Amino acid sequence: MRQILLSIFVLFLIGCNQNEKFSKAEDLSAVAKTHFTASNLIITTSGDTANNTTNTRAVNGNFDTENLMKNNMSDETSESLELLSGRIDETCDDISTVWDDNFVPLYSAYQFDNLEVEYAADEITNLNESYVKLQKEVESISVPDNLSQGEKLRIQEIKDDLLLAISNRTLAVIEFKSMLGSDEVSHQAFMDIHISNSNRYLEEVKTVNAELALQNEALVTAK
């Protein structure tokens, strides 16, 4: 008799424990999305379980890959802008250097009535050849595809201004050549205008190029 009663009592306790477990499981459904078990299992609202470690690695893996791609693209863009900016600065310097080395001495000799025809012809030829070479260099500057649309437009504007700076120097040389065989004062006036225009285009190039370089430096620093 005692064994029968004991068996009934044990069954009763088991039933109570099961009911208690079920009630606790129901309470977990409301917070399933934010709580984790000790075995790294996520309890979902449907009662399914998933390995948290695997999911976390998958999510982190995708995130790391995306960030790596973005960083690589950013590095490539930064490097492209840096190289391009350096080349633009060199071209600006070359345009001014050719002028200072060839035209300034030529014009000084003209002002002091000490200009020899043969010397003038050689220097004018050197000027023209140098600027033709620089023009080809500017035209060969390619705009990298990895730049933004705004950056591409600004680089194209820089190229246009460099070509205008060169063409105005060339026009100034033509006016100077005309001055050698004529007393017409308009040639001097036109020469001065072309020189002024060329200087203005070069200053614009330097300003825009410096702005792009600063933006690029800021992006690199922020990484």
Report the CATH number at residue 217: 1.20.1420
pLDDT at 207: 96
Length in residues, the chain: 223
State whether 10 and 89 are in the same domain.
no
Look at residue 218 in the predicted model and tell me its pLDDT.
66
Beta strands at 49-51 and 41-43: parallel, antiparallel or unpaired: antiparallel
Angle at 146 between CA 204 and CA 83, to 5 degrees: 50
pLDDT for the residue 199: 98
Looking at residue 75, what is its pLDDT? 66
Domain boundary among 58, 90, 106: 58
Predicted pLDDT at 91:
97
The pLDDT assigned to 219 comes to 53
Q: What is the pLDDT of residue 185?
A: 87
How far is it, in rounded angstroms, from Cα 7 to Cα 153? 88
State residue 216's pLDDT score: 77
Q: Are 144 and 112 in contact (CB under 8 A)?
A: no
Residue 68 lies in a domain: no
Let me know if residue 52 belongs to a domain: yes
What pLDDT, on the 0 to 100 scale, is given for residue 214?
A: 87
Q: How far is CA 61 from CA 1, 54, 58, in A?
A: 65, 10, 5
Residues 190 and 218 in one domain: yes
Domain count, the chain: 2
Closest CA to 51 of 61, 65, 37, 64: 37
Cα–Cα distance for residue pair 168/180, rounded to 1 Å: 19
Judge whether 38 lies within some domain. Answer: yes
Q: Which residues, at least 6 apart from 177, have a Cβ–Cβ distance to it below 8 Å? A: 124
Question: Which residues of the chain, if any, have pLDDT below 50?
Answer: 2-3, 5-6, 8-10, 12-14, 16-50, 53, 57-59, 61-73, 222
The verdict on residue 63 lying in a domain is: no
By residue range, what is the domain housing residue 183?
73-222
From CA 76, how far away is CA 72, in angstroms rounded?
A: 6
